[in-house]
């Protein structure tokens, strides 16, 4: 479904990604794990079109999307949920959801989707007319995910969905991720919480300073000694 080959990305003169290649099959949850600054978020930003690679190619369902602008990539069904809960703080919850459905023109469909999101995230329904910036961290994260789902993505790029959340909320977010996946959306997950990420993912890649060092099944990596030492702190 998604095929990334030999991706080289630079911030000015600093090379952030040094020839990253990986793939994702239809229906899979694939995790990218690694330390701060390893290049996980850069990978997602390059796929969604916010950053441009200097070399390499990204193909989605066989179609080359490397040089497409971000707004066209969304229309193909790749939705990037950025890290740090980047909701529109001065818009209401409802308006944020409408923004998520920007590519959809069918009003009835949008309203039906919003009802669905409110059923899945009851807290958002309670606060639908509140400004995004006044929500708590967990609510904002749910809103970011709900906003991302509004355009019916085929592939969801999730960047650090558990960052800065209370343990109970982290569990909840990962449950949501699993439900989304069961309903047919493929997920590329970037996480620092490697334990959780590996538990929900089919396969995983470990990124270190811009290159992929280890790849394998989620369960296998959980048993891998070097991973456990480096990322799980055991």
Partner 1 sequence: MKKLNKKALRVLLVIGKYARWTVGIALALFLTWRIYQVLFVQQAFTADTWLRFALSGLILGGMYALIAIGYTLVYGIMFMINFAHGEVMMIGAFCCYFVFEALRFIPAPIAGNPDLVFLNAYPILSILIAFLVGMTVSGFSGYFLEKIAYRPLRHAPRLILLITAIGASIFLQNAAMLLFGPQRKNIVNPDILTRTAGWTIQVAGKPVLISYTGAFSLILSALLMIGLYFLVQKTKLGRSMRAVAQDQDSAALMGVDVNKVVSQTFIISGILAGASGVMWGIHMGLVNHITGSLPGIKAFTAAVLGGVGNIPGAMLGGITLGVIESMGPALFGIDFQLKDVIAFLTLIIVLIIRPSGILGEKLTEEKL
Choose which of 79, 156, 190, 206 interacts with partner 1 (CB under 8 A).
79
Distances (CA, A) of 211 to 4, 26, 42, 57, 148: 13, 24, 12, 16, 28
CA-based torsion, 226, 37, 176, 216: positive or negative = negative
> Considering only 26-34, 56-64, 86-94, 223-231, which stretch makes contact with partner 1 by CB under 8 A?
86-94
Choose which of 95, 208, 219, 220 interacts with partner 1 (CB under 8 A).
95
CB of 32 to partner 1, least distance (A): 18
Choose which of 40, 68, 80, 203 interacts with partner 1 (CB under 8 A).
80
Pairing of strands 29-33, 14-24: unpaired
- Judged by CB under 8 A, the chain residues 145 through 164 that form the site for partner 1 are 147, 151
Nearest to 152 by CA among 186, 108, 123: 186
Distances (CA, A) of 233 to 106, 152, 157, 229: 48, 37, 26, 5
> Considering only 9-17, 22-30, 67-75, 218-226, which stretch makes contact with partner 1 by CB under 8 A?
67-75
Site string for partner 1, 27-66 (x = CB under 8 A): ---------------------xxx----------------
Choose which of 34, 82, 138, 210 interacts with partner 1 (CB under 8 A).
82
Counting residues that bind partner 1 (by CB under 8 A) gives 25
Angle ∠(43,46,51) on CA atoms, nearest 5:
130
CB of 220 to partner 1, least distance (A): 33
> Considering only 7-15, 73-81, 201-209, 210-218, which stretch makes contact with partner 1 by CB under 8 A?
73-81
φ/ψ of residue 101, rounded to 5: -95, 25
Angle ∠(183,1,112) on CA atoms, nearest 5:
35
CB of 185 to partner 1, least distance (A): 16
Q: How far apart are CA 159 and CA 19, in angstroms?
A: 20
Binding site for partner 1 (CB under 8 A): 48-50, 69-71, 74-75, 79-80, 82, 86-91, 95, 98-100, 102-103, 147, 151
């Amino acid at each position: 479904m998604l095929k990334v080959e030999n991706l080289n990305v630079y911030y000015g003169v600093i090379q952030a990604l040094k020839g990253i290649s990986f793939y994702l099959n239809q229906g899979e949850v694939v995790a990218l794990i690694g330390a701060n600054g390893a290049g996980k978020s850069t990978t997602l930003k390059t796929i969604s079109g916010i950053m441009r690679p200097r070399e390499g190619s990204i193909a989605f369902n066989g179609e080359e999307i490397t040089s497409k602008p971000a707004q066209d990539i969304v229309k193909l069904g790749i939705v990037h949920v950025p890290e740090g809960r980047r909701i529109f703080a001065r818009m209401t919850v409802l308006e944020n959801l409408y923004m998520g459905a920007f590519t959809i023109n069918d009003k009835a469909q949008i309203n039906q989707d919003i009802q669905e999101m409110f059923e899945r995230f009851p807290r958002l329904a309670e606060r639908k007319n509140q400004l995004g910036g006044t929500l708590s961290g967990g609510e904002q994260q749910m809103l970011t995910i709900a906003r991302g789902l509004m355009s019916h993505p085929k592939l969801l790029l999730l960047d650090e969905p558990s960052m800065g959340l209370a343990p109970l909320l982290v569990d909840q977010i990962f449950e949501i991720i699993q439900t989304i996946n069961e309903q047919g959306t493929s997920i590329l997950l970037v996480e620092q919480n490697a334990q959780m990420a590996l538990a929900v993912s089919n396969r995983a890649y470990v990124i270190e300073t811009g290159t992929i060092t280890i790849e394998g099944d989620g369960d296998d990596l959980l048993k891998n000694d070097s991973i456990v030492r480096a990322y799980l702190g055991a």
